[in-house]
Structure 1
Amino acid sequence: MTTTPLLSFDLERTYPAPPERVWAAWTRADLLRRWLCPDPDWLVSDCEVDPRAGGGYRARFGPRPAGDAYAESATFAVFEPVRRLVLDVLTSGEGMAETSRCTVLLLPADGGTRLELTVEGLSGAEAAEGMRTGWQWCLEGIAEHLGDAA
């Protein structure tokens, strides 16, 4: 039996903000909804966060005007405030359902925070490329949010 390899990728981004602000962007619904949408022309129509180990977030996002083409739910498998999150994520909608494990590390950097993101357990190359693009948009969205909040 042949199986599809599970794929992963790493991204990183440095923000000119302290780790506490970057952490809040991941763990507060009012902030998460500002950047979670992986396309700048889409919107997050619903978002809730339970910020604790075993908690997580749930969101709906997609094209305007409804913003409900996709659903994403994540469980915080590891919740180490202002340092590390490990999320088990299910993204579904428009004929797709993809699970992944995302590890977010926040590291103090000169005058800010370096975020290191690892996404693992993707089902194939197409899923990995789509998720990579989406996460790149999300990391840019965090930068825009942090700039707006400055």
Structure 2
Amino acid sequence: MTVKHATFTLERTYPVPPERVFAAWSDPAAKARWFVPDGTHTLDFRVGGTETVDALGPDDTKLSVVSTYHDIVPQRRIVYATTLSGGTALATVSITTVEFEADGDGTRLVLTEQGAFLDSAEQPEWREQGTGDWLDRLGEALK
């Protein structure tokens, strides 16, 4: 039984204003389009609200993601805590901060995640890659 702690930061620049990028995170239909390509998704975007994703992993293991929003500053910042379970085993617990900053006519997004990765059920590099992939899908959705 092991715990691996890791932190990563990803940055993206999108050619649309912060209001539009923030809306892609806060509107349930918009977020489902880029965040969850396969699976079910719910979003109650408010402080204290939750977001859930249920999907199948590469080996058909049921994946369950539950996030709780702790801080929301419109067009500026989102902070949430997340658990990821594979089957019945808790794989990770993390806290994520997403910051939105005007950059000319566009938006610079900075996402920082701090996680506890439990019993090798998930690896930090897998999470970083997956998070980068959905930030890239966000960019495609904003075009």
User: Into which bin does the TM-score normalised by the smaller protein fall?
Assistant: 0.7 to 0.9
What is the distance in 2 between the residues matched to 1:4 and 1:71? 19
Structure 2 equivalent of residue 135 of structure 1: 131
Runs of 4+ in 1 over 6 A off after TM superposition: none
TM-score (norm 1): 0.81
Gap runs ≥5 in structure 2: none
Shift of 1:4: 3.9
Contact preservation (8 Å) 1:8, 1:122: no
TM-score (norm 2): 0.85
Q: Where do 1:1-150 residues align within 5 Å?
A: 4-37=3-36, 43-62=37-56, 69-94=62-87, 97-123=91-117, 127-147=123-143
Tell me which moved more, 3-12 or 48-57. 3-12
Contact preservation (8 Å) 1:74, 1:89: yes
Q: How many residues are matched? A: 138
RMSD in angstroms over aligned alpha carbons? 2.4
1:123 counterpart SS class? strand
What is the distance in 1 between the residues matched to 2:69 and 2:54? 18
Cα distance change of structure 1 residues 21 and 61 upon mapping to structure 2, 3 Å threshold: farther
Contact preservation (8 Å) 1:100, 1:122: yes
Contact preservation (8 Å) 2:56, 2:62: yes
Gap runs ≥5 in structure 1: 38-42
